[in-house]
């Protein structure tokens, strides 16, 4: 069984995340969306809200499991018996950052990272941009799954 973990804070989940997950579904038997919990990070949305956004977005998708985790992503992968980490790449800077992590993860655990390039329609979207729009009372609806955040 090919199982991948798609880790992130998903603060909030964006159409960029959705694009990567939907395009990865045919590649894996199961995708575990892993919402990372970091006590030192200040999230805009609570863990419960972030989970609810993801559940609403992927309601009925049988190949997706949703879990939370703390600590190293590779340790979480081992705990759920996943052999792949799924990551989306928007630009060369993302690749350089993610490449170092992927090499380290493979070296310490043997877990492979699979990169998917974001589609042209979503390559500019990031959660930080969405949060900035929302903090300033802007309309982020074109960047988010339908019904996720009232904008």
Please identify every residue annotated as catalytic.
17, 41, 90, 127
CA distance 84 to 126: 23
- Find out whether 145 and 13 touch, Cβ atoms under 8 Å: yes
In this structure, what token pair is assigned to residue 32? 């575990």
CA distance 35 to 97: 20
Residues in CB range of 149: below 8 A, 6 or more apart: 12, 53, 134, 140, 141
* CA dihedral for 38, 40, 46, 48, sign (positive or negative): positive
């Amino acid at each position: 069984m090919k199982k991948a973990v798609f880790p992130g804070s998903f603060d909030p989940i964006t159409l960029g995340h959705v694009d990567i997950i939907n395009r990865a579904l045919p590649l894996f038997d199961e995708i575990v969306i892993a919402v990372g919990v970091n006590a030192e990070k200040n999230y805009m949305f609570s863990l419960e809200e972030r989970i609810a956004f993801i559940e609403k977005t992927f309601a009925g998708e049988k190949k997706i499991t949703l879990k939370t985790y703390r600590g190293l992503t590779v340790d979480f992968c081992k705990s759920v018996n996943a052999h792949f980490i799924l990551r989306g790449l928007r630009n060369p800077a993302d690749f350089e950052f993610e490449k170092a992590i992927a090499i380290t993860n493979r070296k310490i655990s043997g877990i492979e990272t699979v990169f998917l390039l974001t589609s042209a329609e979503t390559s500019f979207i990031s959660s930080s941009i969405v949060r900035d729009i929302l903090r300033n009372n802007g309309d982020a609806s074109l960047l988010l799954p339908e019904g996720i955040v009232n904008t």
